[in-house]
Structure 1
């Protein structure tokens, strides 16, 4: 059983998302920091960080030291890595295959401090229960989630695609906590991510959980329908029950007969490739221009591959896209929907 799991972010805007998965790496950032290969102890790393960022606050130096020490010394082959992908708005799962490496020949200085990773799975954030999402919502670039049986649950997610929850695992699968020196305060940032949450990410996860609870089954199709109406479409919803694969028909114009004309399928569970094939046929038989798959649990890899071959006919809304569409049109949604999903816009200083 893996004893450690690591969240490693890929840049403020996800600028290393694709590069990391295409090349089997995780890490980067800290462009000012030199090669840490010869930094044998935490004190060595602290000295380098202090020399580089000496004019910054002691807290920042301590935080950077803790994160870089984890990257350089604490991560081991076989450990689980989770990368929250901002470009795809999902979670990538993998295992460490090689320890810290400094890619001196890498042209982009943001891609030099890395560990090797075998990326194995991507899952929508909605596959993860709220308590674990909160643990995964730390604001630092590198941290180790451990609360609420995080490690065995992440292992289960990577292998099975589902989160059994903290009570859904036997006591024998609990993770082993790493023993760290309390005087090394920077490690608290790494090992207690809940103390410094990314409030934007945490808020988005709470909204996703609320939608998942409040708009399950056919209600999710209704939510998608009212969002499309808010976007200016004339919409026909299929009643509950057998619908022949058509959950929503949407079109522009007074009667909904003008392009773009869309056939929509809404799925709560993960979508397989057969659904893509069915929707492609429905687009033709209904005389529509496009098909839209709205899926709360994402697409299987075969389905994702099938969509790539239909990119000019089939559009996909995953949970993050549905949430974004709801937020963009919230003021236009019907009162009954806003009562079930009470949201408030908040402005704050960017960090």
Structure 2
């Protein structure tokens, strides 16, 4: 089914839904960034919007500037009359769908914190339960304004009265959402490690992880280490086997067989070798490790698994570095054919 030539937009009314009355009672959609003033007076290019945000919000993180500028630019210059707007209200837990009917206007007298406005006519108000989990996830984006693309057809069907509540057991998007949340978390963890723990700090982190797993560790001082970054053992003195010699690589690329072989060359009989990296291992490296019963490789994905497993035991320093909170996501249970 081809959709009409219109754009579907998702919009939020602030972190706590503080613009809910403005949206639903006064029939506006709005954005904040009140310090900037009238957005229509900014030249119609994204770079100009970025410069204005840096000027008016100098304390904002650099990474947020293009995101914020893009939202403001699209609200003024890309959104058009006739587009569909989707507003998931935090107040009444309904999803409100409307048609954009006004051009951009600046009016701080209506609600001072949300001076950037467009008139909207609400045409449908539906409970969240009528929509698929995937559609709800898409309109739950972290941004204030964003395009809805993946589930635009579902929202059009909702407007047309064709969308029926989908039984949870038949909602295939539940699994997709759960996977996306998990993948996003894994990406976040690896990105933080790669950016914040280059070189010796990564060895210290791996040592802390091994401590959480029940090992005592001796970490080599920063500088030349002879190919061994950590020695791990179970007893206080480090005499009782198993003795584990650990090498860590904070690079994100592939680690090859020469590095793995070099580590194994330093492992004495009765000892174990462990190579930890943030990236991956080549097939040759994996094959070499498989042939050695006392050698183990841990790549970036394995590392994330261990972090999630032992996270509650991390000290405050590393919890601050990788801030996570426990979230429950739906688990898809396969139905038996029997």
Q: Which has the higher contact order (CA 8 A, sep 6+)?
A: 1
TM-score by length of 2: 0.46
TM-score by length of 1: 0.45
